[in-house]
């Protein structure tokens, strides 16, 4: 479509100053960093081509400016509307795929990554193995025992002191920072693996929910005649001092929105099956899920240093 778009636009765009975009790109000075020069030059080219191909008018552009400013104005510590707008356009999932590919090309196939999303909070409480992250009474919630092992992708050995940082919504579809009725840090926690690499805790079988649609991201969905629903999922960041942090999500197969995610984050390898759990008064369901981390050494051998990238993805 890009090629078609470019070709098809020739007649529509030829009436505009053929030197304009080149002049803007060439205004970049000699001291610009090479990556900046390449990336912003390409961004200018694409945005200008987009404007010409669609003959964007001043009025339409002004609406876009208002939209972008409104996203920033709505953003604060608890809400990142700029990120949400990108998510709705598939951009976070795409850059996640790109970043993952840059790593996995070199290291074969560790656990797949998925987008961070706008609801992670730094420094979640450290909890003891076997604890529950459910801080309030949820009588009819689908209580779940979630367990697994964190291993080194290359050696297969368990990783001690890996941190499993987990977060998900309450059954009402809200993360605790969105919901004044939930205790602070509800349904969040960090667990440190023991020498055997194992972790286990209690959480809820997750619930599908709409992304917040009271701001620009919601306007965008409405304009596109799209639903805001995300399939039920649990978020993780799994990290260890000697390994690249892994940002991912797992999705509940029974959820119809697995094929229909408003932010396009589902990957087949991240869809899981919750099983009925017998003989545990604390949980009706269980799920075993293992994480495979790529060591810095393996990453370096492969000539990639994507660690800094994933650290940034975790908001550090």
From 42-50, 176-184, 234-242, 269-277, give the range in contact with a copy of itself by CB under 8 A: 42-50
> Rounded distance, CA 252 to CA 169, Å?
14
Under rule CB under 8 A, which residues in 237-296 are in contact with a copy of itself?
247, 264
Of the candidate residues 18, 93, 239, 299, the single one contacting a copy of itself (CB under 8 A): 93
Residue 256 C-beta-side C-alpha neighbours within 13 Å? 2
Distance between CA atoms of residues 243 and 206, nearest Å: 28
Beta strands in the chain (DSSP E): 126-127, 143-152, 163-167, 188-192, 198-204, 209-210, 229-230, 233-240, 243-252, 271-272, 275-276, 285-288, 291-293
Nearer CB in complex with a copy of itself: 25/138: 25
User: Quick one: which of 25, 129, 272, 302 contacts a copy of itself (CB under 8 A)?
Assistant: 25
CB of 160 to a copy of itself, least distance (A): 27
Tell which one of 73, 136, 269, 305 touches a copy of itself (CB under 8 A). 73
Contact 228, 262 (CB under 8 A): yes
Would you say 140 or 225 has its CB closer to a copy of itself? 225
User: Could you tell me whether strands 209-210 and 229-230 are parallel, antiparallel, or unpaired per DSSP bridges?
Assistant: antiparallel
Give the nearest distance from C-beta 240 to a copy of itself in angstroms.
19
The least CB distance from residue 34 to a copy of itself, in Å, is: 11
Q: Out of 106, 129, 138, 220, which residue is the one contacting a copy of itself (CB under 8 A)?
A: 220
Residue 79: is it exposed, middle or buried by C-beta count within 10 angstroms (0-12/13-18/19+)? middle
Angle formed by the axes of helices 81-88 and 58-74, nearest 10°: 130
Which of these ranges, 94-102, 177-185, 230-238, 268-276, lies near a copy of itself under the rule CB under 8 A?
Answer: 94-102
Please give the Cα distance from 232 to 209 (Å, whole number): 7
Whole-number minimum distance, CB 87 to a copy of itself, in Å? Answer: 10
Which of residues 11, 29, 171, 178 is near a copy of itself by CB under 8 A? 29
Q: Is residue 36 part of the contact set for a copy of itself (CB under 8 A)?
A: yes
Residue 132 carries which DSSP code?
B
Give the residue, chosen from 6, 155, 172, 269, that forms a contact with a copy of itself under the rule CB under 8 A. 6
Question: Is residue 23 a contact point for a copy of itself (CB under 8 A)?
Answer: yes
Our finding on whether 24 is near a copy of itself (CB under 8 A) is: yes
Q: Kindly state the smallest distance separating residue 239's Cβ from a copy of itself, in Å.
A: 15
Strands 233-240 and 243-252: antiparallel
70 binding a copy of itself? (CB under 8 A): yes
Question: Considering the rule CB under 8 A, would residue 106 count as an interface residue with a copy of itself?
Answer: no
| Residue 195 binds to a copy of itself (criterion: CB under 8 A) | no
Regarding 184 and contact with a copy of itself (CB under 8 A), the answer is no
The gap from C-alpha 83 to its chain's centroid, in whole angstroms, comes to: 9
Rounded Cα–Cα distance for residues 33 and 88 (Å): 30
Residue with tokens 């306007």: 219
Q: How far is the CB of 313 from a copy of itself (least distance, A)?
A: 4
């Amino acid at each position: 479509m890009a090629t078609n778009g470019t070709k098809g636009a020739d007649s529509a765009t030829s009436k505009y100053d053929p030197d304009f975009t080149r002049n803007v790109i060439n205004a970049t000075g000699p001291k610009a960093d090479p990556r900046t020069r390449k990336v912003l030059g390409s961004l200018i080219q694409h945005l200008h081509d987009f404007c010409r191909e669609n003959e964007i008018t001043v009025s339409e552009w002004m609406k876009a400016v208002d939209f972008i400013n409104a996203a920033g104005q709505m953003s604060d510590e608890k809400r990142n509307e700029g990120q949400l707008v990108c998510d709705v356009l598939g951009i976070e999932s795409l850059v996640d795929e790109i970043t993952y590919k840059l790593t996995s090309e070199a290291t074969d196939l560790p656990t797949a990554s998925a987008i961070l999303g706008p609801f992670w909070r730094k420094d979640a409480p450290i909890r003891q193995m076997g604890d529950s992250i459910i801080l309030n009474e949820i009588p009819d919630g689908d209580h779940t025992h979630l367990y697994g092992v964190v291993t080194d992708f290359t050696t297969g050995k368990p990783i001690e002191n890996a941190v499993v940082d987990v977060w998900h919504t309450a059954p009402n579809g809200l993360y605790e920072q969105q919901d004044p009725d939930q205790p602070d840090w509800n349904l969040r926690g960090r667990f440190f693996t023991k020498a055997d690499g194992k972790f286990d805790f209690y959480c809820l079988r997750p619930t599908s929910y709409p992304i917040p649609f009271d701001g620009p991201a919601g306007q965008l969905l409405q304009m596109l005649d799209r639903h805001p629903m995300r399939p039920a999922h649990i978020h993780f960041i799994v990290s260890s001092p000697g390994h690249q942090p892994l940002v991912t999500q797992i999705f509940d197969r029974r959820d119809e929105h697995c094929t229909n995610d408003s932010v396009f984050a589902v990957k087949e390898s991240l869809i899981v099956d919750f099983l009925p759990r017998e003989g545990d008064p604390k949980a009706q369901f269980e799920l075993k899920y293992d994480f495979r981390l790529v060591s810095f050494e393996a990453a370096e051998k492969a000539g990639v240093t994507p660690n800094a990238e994933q650290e940034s993805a975790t908001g550090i």
